[in-house]
Amino acid sequence: MTADVRWAIAWMRDTAAKIAEHKAELTTLDREIGDGDHGENLNRGFTALLAKLDELTSEPATVGEVFKLAATTLMSTVGGASGPLYGTAFLRAAKAADTPELTPADVVAVIESALGGLVLRGKAAVGEKTMIDAWTPALEAAKAAEAAGSDAGEVLRAAADAAAQGALDTIPLKATKGRASYLGDRSMGHKDPGAASTALILESAAHTVN
Ligand code: ADP
Ligand code: MG
């Protein structure tokens, strides 16, 4: 598959399935360093998105339209810190995806825009133990893959693998943003739930295109 409108829909559907499958795991991670609602929050949002996709009467014209639907749905249903964050990320990504099919450079632009939206909204930097620590290495890997001449699927695969590693790399970090920061040193030794969900979302993106 190419990174086209059908892929964008398949990506959102696969993410919904993955989030449902990993709901308990995300919630457990959030119970360790937060308030234990991250799995529930995202599952509520992506379940709502599935319903919105089912209601579509015609195929969206651009990848961006799919992302915009994701953005508005997640923003109004997820709640917590992650709802507005992912909502803003997809809204920004939509603007970089105003096309029926993403080129490798468009894939990089989508990830860069999503990360830009997250930083604008959450004001977190790398190393503060948030989802930024998954998106940032994902962007770096995507850029490197694109520069090396990879196709859109390979760029997404590089981003997904780097996000998974980035999520693992949050384990030793001390949280200084979000709810987990209330724990101080006790946040160390646990994977950040938002970085873990980002890894799932980007894994879905790569899985559905390849
Ligand atoms: P809440 O913390 O309100 O319960 P969630 O549990 O849904 O919201 O999401 C928690 C995740 O949100 C964290 O694991 C972290 O990755 C992310 N997060 C929280 N604050 C920020 C921030 N300022 N910038 C980026 N990500 C953040
Ligand atoms: Mg929470």
Compute mean pLDDT per 10 residues along the chain, 210 residues long, and list them.
95 98 98 97 98 97 98 97 98 98 98 98 98 98 98 98 98 97 96 98 96
* Residues forming a β-bridge with 4: 101
Q: How many domains does the chain have?
A: 1
Contact between residue 139 and residue 115 where contact means Cβ atoms under 8 Å apart: yes
Compute the distance from residue 59 Cα to the ligand 1 centre, in Å. 32
What domain range is 51 assigned to?
A: 5-209
Predicted pLDDT at 155:
98
| pTM listed for this prediction | 0.98
**137: CATH:** 1.25.40.340
Predicted pLDDT at 165:
98
With a Cβ cut-off of 6 Å, ligand 1 is lined by: 30, 34-35, 37-38, 41, 80-82, 85, 118, 122-124, 130-132, 177-179, 192-195
Tokens of 3: 């990174």
Please choose, from the candidates 142, 20, 125, 35, the residue with its C-alpha nearest in 3D space to the C-alpha of residue 82: 35
Predicted pLDDT at 210:
77
Which residue from 82, 115, 181 has its CB within 8 A of the most atoms of ligand 1, so it is best to mutate?
A: 82
Q: Is 210 helix (H, G, I), strand (E, B) or coil?
A: coil
Q: Ligand 1: which residue has its CA nearest to atom 19?
A: 178
